[in-house]
Structure formats: structure tokens, C-alpha cells
Amino acid sequence: MTDDNSDSLTLRVAKAIPSDVGHGRARVPFDNDLNLKPGDIIEVSGERKTAAIVWRCRPEDANLGVIRVDGIIRKNAGVSLGDRVDIKKVETQPCQRLVLSPVMAKQQKVRFGPGIEGFARRGLNKRPVVAGDRIFIPGMTLFAEALPFAIVSTKPKGIVQVLPDTDIVIKEDAVDEEEQGDVQTISYEDIGGLGDQLQKVREMIELPLKHPILFRRLGIDPPRGVLLHGPPGTGKTLIAKAVASETNAHFTSINGPEIISKYYGESEKQLR
């Protein structure tokens, strides 16, 4: 759908292709008035504004009016699956200086070895970045999970593109994830083979959280709890983490062995 302003386009947000996760890509249809081509930079506007690299959409998506972006781009734009965003083609400036800080809990500390800036420069080459966004550097992990970074500042300001001569500074002082908005590394793209189950959970949890007025108008009480059951390792906790991440909800994991005790009153004490 093209807006009255012919230089922008409104699309519905959909899940990213797994191979695109963490690479800043947006797959969009090219049959529009924006004259987009692979490699162009677009501004994605939801509750907030961010940027992404244009990639060709899959043939089956050509007439669906969707934009496929990963969880980190959705988080930066302040949208979730099914929301609508406005996109427009933008011209970027070369990024002269990029300052990054890891996003983690207060009690966590990290030290980076020499050469980390060169690794980041190669991983982020040609990527558009915006100050205030969160970003993943391909190949950089902490405890086998992708480590998110906060873009502290860029020179110049606005949407800039990382190039081989960009001066990258990575601070070891972490940005507190609780104060700056928790960036979970789990998203819907990480869940495979549970499409039907994920859809049901989204309807029962995500819909009431994002559209409470709809339930009030219809006089429907949203579910107060959802029980996921199945053998160990089938993805129950992963689904819960993904839904919490996509809805900006707080997630607390409590495992049975952590609270169960053979002594009277100990289980209740540990729960408290």
C-alpha cells in the first residue's frame, strides 16, 4: 500500500527468514513506487525509527504487502509481528566514528581482547546504524548467545553506513539492560517446527497485552494463565522467552529443582 506521500510505503511486519537474522536485512516487494533495489537503505518507522538493508522478497510474498525483518529490527522500530510500518528510501552518510557498548545485566562484566574493533568493522561492513538502536555483531557471542550492543553515538548523526575506514570504539562499560530496555536474544525466528503452538500462544498472551481495549469492548476476559505441557526439550521455555521478548514483558524462569526441598517449609521459603 502506497501512502499519499509517494515516497513512503506501508507494509505489514512478518517473520524474517532464518538466514537474515542478525544481518540488518529487510525483505520487501519491489513492485512499488519507491524503485527499490537490493542493497538500498530504507528507514523503517513504527513507534520509533530505525534503518535496514533492502533484500528481495520471496516470490510467494510479492503480493502480500509484507516486510520481513528480524527481532532486533522489530525491537528498534518498536513493533511486533502483524503491526504496520512505513518505509522510505534514504541516502546515508559514511560513518566516521561509531561507539558501541555491550548490553547486559549490572552484575555481568566483559573484557574484550585486542582486535575486537576490526572484527566488529568486518561484521558490520555496509550496515546502516542509528544512535540509540541495538545491534548484533555476527559471530560475537557470550555464553553461546548473541551479545547485543547499544549504539551509543555516531558521527555524523542520523542514519549512517559503516565502512572499512570507520573508526569503531567498543566500550567495556556495559549498558544496563533493565534501565535501557531488555534486549532478549530469543525471537520468533529461533523457534522451528512449532508454528501452530506458537500461533495459539500469541493469540492467548500477545493479543491481550498489545490490544487490551479490544477485549474490553467485546466484553471478553483475557486468559489469566497459560499452561504449556510436553516432554523436556520440546521448546516450552523457548516459546515463553520469545513471547516475553516480542511483547517487552518481563520474564522470570523458575526451575523445579531450584525450589524443591525435603524440609518442611523450605520450598515456600525459596519461592519467597
What totals of helices (H) and strands (E) does the chain contain, helices first? 9, 14
Residue 178 has pLDDT above 60, yes or no: no
Q: What number is the average pLDDT over the span 111-127?
A: 91
Flag whether pLDDT at 41 surpasses 50: yes
- Answer for the pair 21, 70: CB distance below 8 angstroms, yes or no: yes
CATH of domain 191-257: 3.40.50.300
Q: How confident is the model at residue 84 (pLDDT cuts 50, 70, 90)?
A: very high
Chain mean pLDDT for the chain? 85
Q: Which three cell numbers stand for residue 145?
A: 548467545
Average pLDDT estimate for 73-96: 93
Rounded CA-CA distance 263/259 in Å is 11
For the chain, the structural domain boundaries read 9-89, 93-180, 191-257
Please give the sequence-ordered ranges of beta strands (E in DSSP) within the chain, or none if there are none.
9-14, 25-28, 41-45, 49-56, 66-68, 84-89, 93-94, 97-104, 128-129, 134-142, 145-155, 160-161, 167-170, 175-176
Q: Residue 124 in contact with residue 154, Cβ under 8 Å?
A: no
What one-character DSSP code corresponds to residue 97? E
Confidence band of 4 (pLDDT split at 50, 70, 90): very low
Does residue 74 surpass a pLDDT of 60? yes
Q: Which residues share a beta bridge with 56? A: 28
Q: Residues 97-105: what's their mean pLDDT?
A: 89
Q: Is the pLDDT of residue 233 over 60?
A: yes
208 vs 128: which has the higher pLDDT: 128
Burial of 220 (C-beta count, 10 Å sphere; 0-12/13-18/19+): exposed
Evaluate whether 9-89 and 93-180 have a shared fold: no
Would you place residue 177 in the very low, low, confident or very high pLDDT band (cuts 50, 70, 90)? low
What architecture (CATH level 2) is domain 93-180? Roll (3.10)
> Coil, strand, or helix at residue 215?
helix
In the predicted structure, residue 180 carries a pLDDT above the cut 60: no
Please say whether the beta carbons of 49 and 77 come within 8 A.
Answer: yes
Query: 106-136 as b/e, with b when 16 or more CB fall inside 10 Å?
Result: eeeeeeeeeebbebbbebbeebbbbbebbbb
State the pLDDT confidence band at 234, using cuts at 50, 70 and 90.
Answer: confident
Mean pLDDT on 228-232: 88
CATH code, residues 9-89: 2.40.40.20
pLDDT value, residue 42: 96
More confident residue, 157 or 243: 157
Task: Please list the residues that pair with 49 across neighbouring strands.
Answer: 45
pLDDT digits (tens, 9 = 90+) for 188-213: 877 878 888 888 888 888 888 877 88
Q: Rounded to an integer, what distance in angstroms lies between the CA atom of residue 21 and that of residue 16?
A: 7
Q: With helix as H, strand as E and coil as C, how does 156-207 read?
A: CCCCEECCCCCEEEECCCCEEHHHHCCCCCCCHHHCCCCHHHHHHHHHHHHH
Which is more confident, 201 or 43? 43
d(CA 116, CA 233): 35
- pLDDT > 80? residue 145: no
pLDDT band at 54 (very low <50, low <70, confident <90, very high): very high
For residues 149-172, average pLDDT: 94
Q: Per mean pLDDT, which range of 2-11, 93-102, 123-132, 144-153 is the poorest?
A: 2-11
pLDDT at 184 over 70: no
Q: How far is Cα 46 from Cα 75, in angstroms, rounded to an integer?
A: 10
